[in-house]
Amino acid sequence: MTVWRIFLLSSLAGFLGLAVLTLSGTAKEFQVKSLRIGYQKSATVLALAREKKLFEKALAPLGIQSVQWIEFQYGPPLLEALGSGAIDLGAVGDTPPIFSQSAGADILYLAAYPQEESAFLVLDDSEIKKPEQLKGKKIAVSLGSSAHNFMLVMLEKYGLRLEDITPVYLAPADAIAAIITKRIDAWVIWDPYVTIAVKNHHARKLISTISDNTEYNSFYILNSRFAIMTPKITQAIYDALSHATIFVNENRDGVANLISGLTGIAYDIQRSVLKRTTFNLLAIDEEVLKRQQEIANRFFRLGLITHPVQISDIVWRRTSNIY
């Protein structure tokens, strides 16, 4: 047995408590009995895959006996669980993986997909009519979320610095309560929260990724030890995500109805979100890497992450194999 393989086996001590593994001499990969997936209400493709049991069907021939689903309110707690090995797969916006990589978490980028709409929200009766009027205002955002990055980009675009506003770091559930009670002046958030706030809580969009014609990516992220030790399962996960993405694109109304029942979000809201969202599974190519690296560099330049990161260092490749 090589020193490298001895090291890998010894490093599984923490992982073994979270997934049942046995070494197969023929398949040349660790056989995992269960797959643990972290998801958010915004993860449409994962929601469809859960309801249709797409992962169960795709992975059963590879020894997966169960798929467990763990819901998270937003990305940073999901990435914390993913990096620690508490879950194996998750879907998040562009910013949480950057914070996790800077902190040394064990993660890999599997694939990208276009991000749902994000927006600066203010109440209908707010005196704020244009982005420049955000100066001196309290703006809620989830720390380390995709909305955090969108906030920084838009502040810079409209001639404002982070020091010109008072950021209030809140989880989505706390932020929506804060804006309704006018304890904050604006809220930067993603769908479906954008649509829920506009339709149900007298909010309006001040700026959004759609109105500003800006595109951002979200990502499917894997625990790196899981991905490296189960290359066949990882490839099957990628293929299942591809099939689910195609299905969502071709069946939006039906998917909206299905996900509404699953998440409790009203059908008209879910349908509105899906109508505005682009669904594609994107490889982590040079263009995706460039965009993500620019975001990482911005957060480091502003002192919001403590260590610089190189995104290309933690990208899953189909040739990844420890043997």
| Lowest pLDDT segment from 5-9, 135-139, 142-146 | 5-9
CA distance linking residue 123 with residue 197, whole number of Å: 9
| pLDDT, averaged across the chain | 88
Most confident range, picked from 240-249, 250-259, 313-322: 240-249
pLDDT digits (tens, 9 = 90+) for 23-68: 333 346 678 899 999 998 888 999 999 999 999 999 999 999 999 9
Contacts 24+ apart (CB under 8 A), 26-32: 27/232, 28/321, 28/323, 29/229, 29/230, 29/231, 29/232, 29/233, 29/321, 29/323, 30/229, 30/230, 31/62, 31/63, 32/63, 32/64, 32/88, 32/226, 32/230, 32/233
Looking at the fold, whether 170 and 227 belong to one and the same domain comes out as no
pLDDT at position 319, please? Answer: 56
Domain limit, last residue, from 208, 228, 262: 208
Looking at the fold, whether 95 and 232 belong to one and the same domain comes out as yes
| Lowest pLDDT segment from 74-78, 118-122, 315-319 | 315-319
Nearest to 87 by CA among 62, 103, 74, 69: 69
| Lowest pLDDT segment from 9-18, 159-168, 229-238 | 9-18
Domain containing 130: what range? 118-208
Assigned domain for 323 exists: no
Nearest to 282 by CA among 237, 234, 219: 219
Looking at the fold, whether 16 and 138 belong to one and the same domain comes out as no
CA distance linking residue 216 with residue 105, whole number of Å: 23
Nearest to 138 by CA among 150, 125, 153, 126: 126
pLDDT at position 261, please? Answer: 83
Assigned domain for 28 exists: yes
pLDDT at position 263, please? Answer: 79
3-state SS track over 174-201: HHHHHHHCCCCCEEEEECCHHHHHHHHC
CA distance linking residue 130 with residue 247, whole number of Å: 39
Looking at the fold, whether 127 and 108 belong to one and the same domain comes out as no
Assigned domain for 321 exists: no
Q: How many domains does the chain have?
A: 2
Q: How confident is the model at residue 157 (pLDDT cuts 50, 70, 90)?
A: very high
Whichever domain contains 39, its CATH number is 3.40.190.10
Q: Looking at the predicted structure, is the pLDDT value of residue 18 above 50? A: no
